[in-house]
């Protein structure tokens, strides 16, 4: 979901009972470690609204992890995916001195769907 309102509406209104009835017990959301920092790095204005939306999605996931008991709720929060135009402006501020590849993020999302991750509950994984 792109914003907290969409996430909350989809989960409260449409996911809770179907998940319980089906026996599924996992909600995956994509938040962000980015939090609007790119706008500051490349001087494109404030990223405050973007950052607030992603922080709200993180909090929603945390709330659902406790409120919905046996339904796990996890976030995946990538920094940036490789983009040649932005690489030079960003790489110096990235702790790993490189940008994540899409397969690195998608591998975690896949893992969260398997039973091997069944004890992960309210996990936000930062890729930076």
| DSSP per residue, 102-122 | HHHHHHHHHHHTSGGGTT--S
- CATH number for the region 4-127 comes to 3.40.50.720
Q: What is the pLDDT of residues 12-69, one digit of tens each?
A: 556 666 666 766 666 656 565 554 444 445 455 556 777 788 788 888 888 877 887 7
In this prediction, residues 89-118 reach a mean pLDDT of: 84
Q: Chain-wide mean pLDDT for the chain?
A: 72
pLDDT for 106: 86
Quick one: 44 exposed, middle or buried, by C-beta within 10 A (0-12, 13-18, 19+)? exposed
Active site residues per annotation: 50
- The full set of domain ranges for the chain reads 4-127
pLDDT for 24: 64
């Amino acid at each position: 979901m792109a914003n907290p309102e969409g996430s909350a509406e989809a989960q409260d209104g449409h996911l809770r009972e179907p998940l319980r009835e089906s026996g599924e017990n996992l909600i995956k959301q994509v938040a962000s470690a980015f939090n609007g920092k790119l706008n500051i790095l490349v001087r494109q204005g404030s990223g405050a609204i973007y950052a607030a939306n992603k922080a709200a999605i993180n909090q929603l996931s945390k709330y659902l992890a406790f409120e919905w008991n046996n339904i796990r709720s996890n976030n995946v929060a990538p920094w940036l995916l490789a983009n040649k135009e932005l690489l030079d402006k960003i790489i110096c501020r990235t702790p790993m001195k490189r940008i994540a590849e899409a397969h690195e993020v998608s591998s975690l999302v896949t893992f969260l769907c398997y039973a091997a991750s069944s004890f992960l509950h309210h996990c936000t994984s930062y890729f930076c």
